[in-house]
């Protein structure tokens, strides 16, 4: 059985990654900064939205994919996938608007970390007995 559930969330997150990266490039062109962050606040925020995404999403997806490959329950996979996707969208919206704390950013951080914790604990539960 192929990891279809992970695949669909990975695909949606892949589209989000390309979108966030395109926003960085648009801001680079607008601000005329080709390397590094420069002093432009909107460019700096766009870079951190994409940067934070790339720091967490690959690990989370690999954990969810391993859970699916290890025979984890479908419902868990969907809950983790939806939480990760919703968290990344909330984080992107929150941080794009201002650099300080915001509801979107808090929700994003919470959902991202819950996904990592949930997937890790679920993997331990599913995989440890099979060692």
- Select from 85, 87, 92, 84 the least CA-distant residue to 118: 84
Residue 10 contacts other proteins per CB under 8 A: yes
Q: Which secondary structure element, helix H or strand E, spans residue 121, and what is its range?
A: helix 103-127
Other Cβ atoms within 10 Å of 29 Cβ, number = 11
Q: Within 13 Å, how many C-alpha atoms sit on residue 100's CB side?
A: 0
Q: Which stretch binds other proteins (CB under 8 A): 12-20, 88-96, 102-110, 117-125?
A: 12-20
Tell me which stretch binds other proteins (CB under 8 A): 30-38, 84-92, 93-101, 118-126: 30-38
The structure tokens listed for 118 are 């949930």
Name which position in 23, 43, 46, 61 contacts other proteins (CB under 8 A). 61
**C-beta of 40: minimal distance to other proteins in Å?**
16
Judged by CB under 8 A, the residue of 5, 63, 84, 126 near other proteins is 5
- Phi-psi bin for 4: left (phi > 0), alpha (psi -120 to 50), beta? alpha
Piece of 46-54, 83-91, 100-108, 115-123 that binds other proteins (CB under 8 A): 46-54
Q: Where are the alpha helices (DSSP H) in 37-102?
A: 41-69, 74-97
Is residue 124 near other proteins by the rule CB under 8 A? no
Query: Residue numbers of the site for other proteins (CB under 8 A)?
Result: 1-8, 10-15, 17-18, 21-22, 25, 34-36, 50-51, 54, 57-58, 61-62, 65, 69
């Amino acid at each position: 059985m192929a990891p279809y559930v992970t695949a669909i969330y990975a695909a949606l997150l892949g589209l989000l990654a390309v979108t966030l990266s395109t926003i960085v490039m648009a801001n680079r062109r607008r601000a005329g900064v080709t390397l590094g962050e420069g002093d432009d606040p909107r460019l700096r925020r766009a870079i951190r939205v994409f940067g934070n995404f790339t720091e967490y999403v690959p690990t989370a997806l690999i954990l969810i994919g391993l859970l699916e490959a290890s025979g984890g329950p479908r419902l868990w996979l969907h809950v983790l996938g939806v939480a990760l996707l919703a968290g990344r969208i909330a984080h992107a919206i929150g941080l794009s608007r201002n650099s300080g704390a915001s509801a979107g950013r808090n929700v994003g951080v919470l959902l991202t970390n819950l996904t990592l914790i949930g997937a890790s604990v679920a993997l331990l539960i599913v995989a440890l007995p099979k060692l």
